[in-house]
Structure 1
Amino acid sequence: MGSGEHDRILDAALAEADTAGLRGKAVTPFLLGRIVELSGGRSLEVNLDLARNNVRVAAEVAIAWAARR
Protein backbone atom coordinates (compact mmCIF):
# COMPACT_ATOMS: atom_id res chain seq x y z
CA MET A 1 0.00 0.00 0.00
CA GLY A 2 1.57 3.27 -1.13
CA SER A 3 1.60 6.46 0.88
CA GLY A 4 -0.97 8.12 -1.43
CA GLU A 5 -3.40 5.25 -1.00
CA HIS A 6 -2.77 5.22 2.76
CA ASP A 7 -3.46 8.94 3.03
CA ARG A 8 -6.65 8.68 0.95
CA ILE A 9 -7.96 5.78 3.05
CA LEU A 10 -7.03 7.44 6.34
CA ASP A 11 -8.71 10.70 5.30
CA ALA A 12 -11.88 8.81 4.35
CA ALA A 13 -11.93 6.85 7.62
CA LEU A 14 -11.32 10.00 9.68
CA ALA A 15 -14.15 11.79 7.86
CA GLU A 16 -16.48 8.84 8.53
CA ALA A 17 -15.54 8.85 12.23
CA ASP A 18 -16.23 12.58 12.39
CA THR A 19 -19.57 12.21 10.59
CA ALA A 20 -20.52 9.43 13.01
CA GLY A 21 -19.66 11.75 15.93
CA LEU A 22 -17.09 9.37 17.34
CA ARG A 23 -14.80 10.77 20.01
CA GLY A 24 -12.18 9.57 22.45
CA LYS A 25 -11.40 5.90 22.75
CA ALA A 26 -14.14 4.94 20.28
CA VAL A 27 -12.15 6.43 17.39
CA THR A 28 -9.20 4.00 17.31
CA PRO A 29 -11.13 0.72 16.94
CA PHE A 30 -13.39 2.34 14.36
CA LEU A 31 -10.43 3.60 12.33
CA LEU A 32 -8.61 0.28 12.48
CA GLY A 33 -11.68 -1.58 11.23
CA ARG A 34 -12.53 0.90 8.50
CA ILE A 35 -8.96 1.10 7.25
CA VAL A 36 -8.85 -2.70 6.92
CA GLU A 37 -12.17 -2.61 5.04
CA LEU A 38 -11.24 0.31 2.78
CA SER A 39 -7.84 -1.21 1.94
CA GLY A 40 -9.30 -4.60 1.12
CA GLY A 41 -7.31 -6.14 3.97
CA ARG A 42 -3.94 -4.84 2.77
CA SER A 43 -3.44 -2.65 5.85
CA LEU A 44 -3.87 -5.68 8.10
CA GLU A 45 -1.19 -7.57 6.17
CA VAL A 46 1.17 -4.58 6.43
CA ASN A 47 0.57 -4.33 10.18
CA LEU A 48 1.15 -8.06 10.64
CA ASP A 49 4.39 -7.80 8.65
CA LEU A 50 5.50 -4.94 10.91
CA ALA A 51 4.66 -6.95 14.03
CA ARG A 52 6.59 -9.97 12.73
CA ASN A 53 9.57 -7.76 11.97
CA ASN A 54 9.42 -6.23 15.46
CA VAL A 55 9.49 -9.72 16.98
CA ARG A 56 12.48 -10.65 14.80
CA VAL A 57 14.39 -7.49 15.76
CA ALA A 58 13.55 -7.96 19.45
CA ALA A 59 14.89 -11.53 19.29
CA GLU A 60 18.10 -10.32 17.64
CA VAL A 61 18.56 -7.66 20.32
CA ALA A 62 17.89 -10.20 23.09
CA ILE A 63 20.42 -12.63 21.62
CA ALA A 64 23.05 -9.90 21.26
CA TRP A 65 22.40 -8.65 24.77
CA ALA A 66 22.58 -12.16 26.25
CA ALA A 67 25.88 -12.81 24.43
CA ARG A 68 27.44 -9.82 26.21
CA ARG A 69 26.87 -11.34 29.64
Structure 2
Amino acid sequence: MIRTYQAEHGGTVFVQALTERQRRTRTRLMALVVIAATAISAATVMGFTHRAASLARSDITTSWAP
Protein backbone atom coordinates (compact mmCIF):
# COMPACT_ATOMS: atom_id res chain seq x y z
CA MET A 1 0.00 0.00 0.00
CA ILE A 2 1.37 3.41 -0.92
CA ARG A 3 0.45 6.42 1.19
CA THR A 4 1.09 10.06 0.46
CA TYR A 5 1.43 13.03 2.74
CA GLN A 6 2.42 16.66 2.59
CA ALA A 7 6.03 17.22 3.66
CA GLU A 8 7.40 20.30 5.42
CA HIS A 9 8.99 21.52 2.21
CA GLY A 10 5.56 21.58 0.58
CA GLY A 11 6.01 18.61 -1.73
CA THR A 12 4.21 15.31 -1.76
CA VAL A 13 5.98 12.35 -0.21
CA PHE A 14 5.16 8.76 -1.11
CA VAL A 15 5.61 6.12 1.56
CA GLN A 16 5.03 2.43 1.13
CA ALA A 17 3.20 1.11 4.20
CA LEU A 18 2.76 -2.50 5.20
CA THR A 19 -0.56 -4.16 4.50
CA GLU A 20 -2.63 -5.54 7.35
CA ARG A 21 -1.55 -9.05 6.44
CA GLN A 22 2.14 -8.10 6.47
CA ARG A 23 1.78 -6.35 9.84
CA ARG A 24 -0.02 -9.35 11.32
CA THR A 25 2.63 -11.74 9.99
CA ARG A 26 5.46 -9.57 11.33
CA THR A 27 3.79 -9.30 14.75
CA ARG A 28 3.30 -13.06 15.00
CA LEU A 29 6.85 -13.74 13.88
CA MET A 30 8.23 -11.33 16.48
CA ALA A 31 6.10 -13.03 19.15
CA LEU A 32 7.57 -16.41 18.20
CA VAL A 33 11.10 -14.99 18.28
CA VAL A 34 10.52 -13.55 21.76
CA ILE A 35 9.09 -16.86 23.01
CA ALA A 36 12.05 -18.79 21.56
CA ALA A 37 14.60 -16.38 23.05
CA THR A 38 12.93 -16.62 26.46
CA ALA A 39 12.92 -20.42 26.32
CA ILE A 40 16.58 -20.55 25.28
CA SER A 41 17.66 -18.19 28.05
CA ALA A 42 15.64 -20.12 30.65
CA ALA A 43 17.17 -23.40 29.49
CA THR A 44 20.66 -21.89 29.66
CA VAL A 45 20.14 -20.66 33.21
CA MET A 46 18.65 -24.02 34.25
CA GLY A 47 21.61 -25.83 32.69
CA PHE A 48 24.12 -23.73 34.60
CA THR A 49 22.17 -24.18 37.83
CA HIS A 50 21.89 -27.94 37.35
CA ARG A 51 25.59 -28.25 36.54
CA ALA A 52 26.61 -26.17 39.56
CA ALA A 53 24.37 -28.21 41.84
CA SER A 54 25.71 -31.45 40.36
CA LEU A 55 29.31 -30.36 40.88
CA ALA A 56 28.57 -29.30 44.44
CA ARG A 57 26.97 -32.68 45.17
CA SER A 58 29.89 -34.61 43.68
CA ASP A 59 32.38 -32.60 45.76
CA ILE A 60 30.48 -33.38 48.94
CA THR A 61 30.18 -37.11 48.25
CA THR A 62 33.83 -37.57 47.24
CA SER A 63 35.33 -35.51 50.04
CA TRP A 64 33.16 -36.88 52.84
CA ALA A 65 34.59 -39.85 54.71
CA PRO A 66 33.09 -41.40 57.85
Per the normalisation by structure 2, the TM-score is 0.47
Q: Name the structure with the higher helix share.
A: 1
| Greater RCO, CA 8 A, separation 6+ | 1
Structure with greater Cα Rg: 2
Per the normalisation by structure 1, the TM-score is 0.45
Q: Name the structure with the higher strand share.
A: 2
